[in-house]
Structure 1
Amino acid sequence: MTVTNESNGTPAGRRLLFISVPRTASNLLLRIVNIPKQPNLHTTPKGGYFFYPAFIESTQNGSLVDKPADQWTAEDINAVKTSSQACLDSLEEYSSRAAQNNQLMFTKEHAYWMFSPATRRKFITGLHDDKFFEAFRVNTPEKYGPKKYSRSNETMFSDEYLRSWQMVFIIRHPALAWPSMYRAMLKLGESGVIDEDGVKGASVANMTFHWTRLLHDWCLEQLDVPVSAPVVDAHDLIHHPEIVLQLCEQTGLDKSVVQFEWADKSEKKSLHWACHNSNADPDEVKLHQQAAGVMLSTLESSAGIIKDKAPETIDIAAEAAKWRGEFGEDVGTLIERCVRDSMSDYEYLKARRITV
């Protein structure tokens, strides 16, 4: 049962977790919902991304999952777990502040970041090893209850901790999202944010809805949790943005501040990237701001929704020929394979989306 603070109508202790994948128009969704102007809502200046440092830790100097598991050293595992724990602790500090002020806690995280290297290794090899899942689990606060992990929960967090959040999922047709992601990764490579191996590694890790579906299906199993786990399709968001009003009704967000147009010189979210960490190295912050500038370039140069970003029909074979011409045979083929492999998860999630 949801408890409401009578003084301002804000659900006490409510927490919203938006689960996204790069290039699925998640930042457009946040712009339409107008997160900065949402009353009684608490988040970071960039709207979340608490677990970005842990993602970087697990992928720097070569992704941990690229190593055979028998080569994972105690130092490897401890570095990732320590970073993940620090990210969780930071999130919990923000969340405690929100609860103290009777505010709704909000964060957006990429689905891939919620899972440990053990899960990623299972995705690649098909091997499930309980000791590795245990090794990467973070310590969630006692107030969330016993630390139990159902078989379907392959994240770093206990069932009870995940149950403390209402999750919202955003998806987009893979033939639009994945080539867009690779273009963005190339730009990050050109700017020095990631190296050549990182371009392909980050792309492959994210060019799937596998992680999104795992979390979504775990939510469906929580039959006694009295809140939904809405799914938003970027195509609907662009062509029927009024679905956001339904999303607000299902999540407790305020419909009165929703916007479908905005000033083209509005404050750039990318300038706030990593600024919630006062101890961050200035050069590192600048690098992260460059990355955010690449990922948010279309949105930050727009004054509203751009409908040609979501065509009505998509011919994957025809698009694949274009990808080979743009990226070369090997990468074009890789993107096509990822697109086709993602379609079953995408269609499954799409069938469960909010509709007009």
Structure 2
Amino acid sequence: MATQNTPNRMILVSVPRTASNLLLKVLNIPKQPNLLTSPKGGYFFYDAFMTAGKDGRLNKAISEWTTEEKSEVREAFQHAMTDLEEYSARARAENKIMFAKEHAFWFLNPGFFSNMTHGAISDEDLKTFQVTVPESYGSTKTFSQNNSTVLPDEYLRTWQLAFIIRHPALAWPSLYRAMQKMCQAGFLEDDDAKGMSLTNMSMQWTRRLFDWCLEQPDAPVTPLVIDANDVIHNPGAVIKFCERAGLDTASMQFEWDGGEKKSDKWTPDRASENNPAELARQQKAASIMLSTLEGSTGINKDKAPESLDIDAEVAKWKVEFGEEIAALLEKATRDAMPDYEYLKANRVTA
């Protein structure tokens, strides 16, 4: 959606466990010659989302938040926006594509989490977290129905949005396993793992952003969508995605040296800037989420069976997780299937 008068820049919108880091590995994002990104490959809104979720805030109605809590979260989103703009300015100066990967709900307005669990939220509460963008993006700042983010329509239109999806019956149990490891490592309590899993196990925000793209007057083509199954089984689709994203296909890789630790390169954000213990904690958490990729030397096709039977998967979950969690995963999977199938029908194919 970016125009000729704005930087050529892309946000890859993901949800956890959709093989988004594998896609970045195959595209070889750090070594793309005409691209600029952060050392984390994006994640500009990580700190903002973690701030919003601190002390169980996302489980409370916004009306129950203190003024200080609201200010702290809005400031964190504003910092993320500022950092994103600083990188964009660098990319423009270097005549490069600006690239960022963000989970859909990381730059979601926190008011919509409250709306999910506590009913309708006022426009005034939503405005609390909407960021201020530079005047160069125009004097009007609108938020159309499918824009649930903290970023106004006028700003989002200056980015090309792309999406990665994965079958919920693969993504959601993988996420819960990762949350279990987080609990075992002392990062989360068991109840937090359940709460975070439910918050994360949704493709509705991805779909809403996809539909938002289709509504824009300067977006005559369907935005890019790639399925994790194609990343693993269909290299032609990844090559086409790479081409359509304006990236260099010659830099792509389907095999690599093992042992590279992306989590070790996790750079300080504002929460860990002057706090070595917090940085070490974030690096450890990243190593849990990236363990499969960091231990690989290429694409592991066992991680994506060609076909799935949800009933058969539920039977496996009951054995692995017990009846309660299996029921949680089944409901989240079946609830997400319409959004997944809708997005899958619009994916890049080869």
CA distance in 1, matches of 2:220, 2:91: 21
Deviations 1:86-142 (A, max 9, x none): 111111111111111111111100001111111122233452421111111011111
- Equivalent residues in 2 for 1:268-287, closer than 5 Å: 268-275=261-268, 279-287=273-281
Alignment match, 1:253: 247
Alignment match, 2:343: 349
Q: Aligned with 1:108: secondary structure?
A: strand
- CA apart distance, 1:256: 1.0
CA distance in 1, matches of 2:25, 2:167: 20
Correspondence 1:180 to 2:174: yes
Correspondence 1:34 to 2:14: no
Q: Is the 8 A contact 2:36 2:91 kept in 1?
A: yes
Alignment match, 2:81: 88
- CA apart distance, 1:226: 5.5
One-letter identity of the residue aligned with 1:37: K
Alignment match, 1:79: 72
Q: Aligned with 2:102: secondary structure?
A: strand
Counterpart pick for 1:297 among 268, 284, 291: 291
Correspondence 1:22 to 2:11: no
CA distance in 2, matches of 1:302, 1:268: 11
- CA apart distance, 1:68: 3.0
CA distance in 2, matches of 1:106, 1:276: 18
Alignment match, 2:183: 189
Alignment match, 1:312: 306
- Equivalent residues in 2 for 1:94-133, closer than 5 Å: 94-133=87-126
Correspondence 1:152 to 2:146: yes
Q: Aligned with 1:31: secondary structure?
A: helix
Moved more, 79-88 or 127-136: 127-136
CA distance in 2, matches of 1:125, 1:140: 29
CA distance in 2, matches of 1:261, 1:290: 25
Q: Is the 8 A contact 1:45 1:276 kept in 2?
A: no
Counterpart pick for 1:328 among 322, 325, 343: 322
CA distance in 2, matches of 1:70, 1:275: 32
Q: Which runs of 5+ in 2 are unaligned?
A: none
CA distance in 1, matches of 2:297, 2:127: 47
Change (3 A) 1:274 1:199: farther
CA distance in 1, matches of 2:102, 2:254: 23
Q: Aligned with 1:61: secondary structure?
A: helix
Please give the TM-score of this superposition, normalised by the length of structure 2: 0.95
Please give the TM-score of this superposition, normalised by the length of structure 1: 0.93
Q: Is the 8 A contact 2:91 2:97 kept in 1?
A: yes
Change (3 A) 1:274 1:189: farther
Alignment match, 1:135: 128
Change (3 A) 1:227 1:254: farther
One-letter identity of the residue aligned with 2:52: S
CA distance in 1, matches of 2:102, 2:274: 20
Q: Aligned with 2:55: secondary structure?
A: coil
The total of aligned residue pairs comes to 347
Alignment match, 2:53: 59
Q: Is the 8 A contact 1:41 1:98 kept in 2?
A: yes
Q: Aligned with 1:151: secondary structure?
A: coil
Q: Aligned with 2:127: secondary structure?
A: helix
- CA apart distance, 1:211: 1.0
Alignment match, 1:7: none
- CA apart distance, 1:247: 1.1
Identical residues among aligned pairs (%): 52
CA distance in 2, matches of 1:120, 1:248: 33
CA distance in 2, matches of 1:315, 1:149: 39
Q: Aligned with 2:163: secondary structure?
A: strand
- CA apart distance, 1:270: 0.9
- CA apart distance, 1:2: 5.0
CA distance in 1, matches of 2:288, 2:63: 37
CA distance in 2, matches of 1:308, 1:52: 30
CA distance in 1, matches of 2:307, 2:286: 30
Deviations 1:2-51 (A, max 9, x none): 549xxxxxxx7111100011100000100000001101211111101011
CA distance in 2, matches of 1:280, 1:180: 33
CA distance in 1, matches of 2:62, 2:47: 22
- CA apart distance, 1:280: 4.1
One-letter identity of the residue aligned with 2:53: T
Q: Aligned with 1:105: secondary structure?
A: strand
Q: Which runs of 5+ in 1 are unaligned?
A: 5-11
